[in-house]
Amino acid sequence: MKASEAQALLDGADLICSAEEVHIAVARLAQEISAELKGEFPVVLSVMGGAAVFTGQLLPLLAFPLEFGAIEVTRYGNTTQGREITWRLAPRDNVRGRKVLVVDDILDEGITLAAIHAKLLEMGAEKVWSAVFADKAIAKEKPIHADFVGVTVPDRYVFGFGMDAYGLWRNLPAIYALKG
């Protein structure tokens, strides 16, 4: 896609959650997570690449000791339709016997997060929590719910604050929805 087309994509999009609202939601989430995980020493796993921005803002606000790591799993690629799960970077052995907090940008149909939970438990994690910045309000029942949610977004393809539209615009500080 050309730069002018990328700009047109953004110009035609609807603002869903302003940068200010994002900022407030991250601070609230950090407080909720810190209260719940007080006294714990979890492994925190960020799901690349969508969670990079959310994780970068959340981590310095968490008030407990933690070990940080990344995993990478993809289902959408540069498209707006989910397909089968592809693991690009699996969890490491250090999750065995540990409590794990998974951080992701969006819970859409829940297939990705459910697969991550299953994998971590299969690898011997003692407990798994999940924090997602955005929970999409879809009509279908999800296979999993997140323990911590920043904002609820409508059932439209959203992007910004780490989330991509056709591989673009992860760098936006606010969340937008594609037109139509």
Ligand X SMILES: O=P(O)(O)OC[C@H]1O[C@H](OP(=O)(O)OP(=O)(O)O)[C@H](O)[C@@H]1O
Q: Provide the binding-site residues for ligand HPA, judged by CB under 6 A.
A: 76, 106, 108, 157-159, 163-164
Kindly tell me which of 25 and 106 has the beta carbon lying closer to ligand HPA.
106
* Residue 111, C-beta contacts closer than 8 angstroms, at least 6 positions apart: 75, 82, 85, 143
Q: Beta strands 175-177 and 158-159: pairing type?
A: antiparallel
CB of 81 to ligand HPA, least distance (A): 9
Neighbouring-strand partners of residue 127: 99
Amino acid identity of residue 82, one-letter, is G
Kindly tell me which of 22 and 106 has the beta carbon lying closer to ligand HPA.
106
Look at residue 157 and give the partner it binds from ligand HPA, ligand X, none, a contact being a CB closer than 5 to 8 Å depending on partner kind: ligand HPA
CB of 136 to ligand HPA, least distance (A): 6
Characterise 110 by phi-psi region: left (phi > 0), alpha (psi -120 to 50), beta (else): left
152: tokens are: 């609820």
Kindly tell me which of 43 and 169 has the beta carbon lying closer to ligand HPA.
169
Look at residue 158 and give the partner it binds from ligand X, ligand HPA, none, a contact being a CB closer than 5 to 8 Å depending on partner kind: ligand HPA
CB of 35 to ligand X, least distance (A): 25
CB 137 within 8 Å of CB 155: yes
CB of 10 to ligand X, least distance (A): 17
Q: Which residues bind ligand X (CB under 6 A)?
A: 47, 49-50, 74-76, 82, 104-113, 164
CB of 113 to ligand X, least distance (A): 6
Whose tokens are 């690349």? That residue is 48
Measure CA 52 to chain center: 8
Kindly tell me which of 69 and 167 has the beta carbon lying closer to ligand HPA.
167
Answer whether the bond into residue 150 is a cis peptide, omega within 30°: no
Cβ neighbours around 27 below 10 Å, total:
14
Kindly tell me which of 40 and 109 has the beta carbon lying closer to ligand X.
109
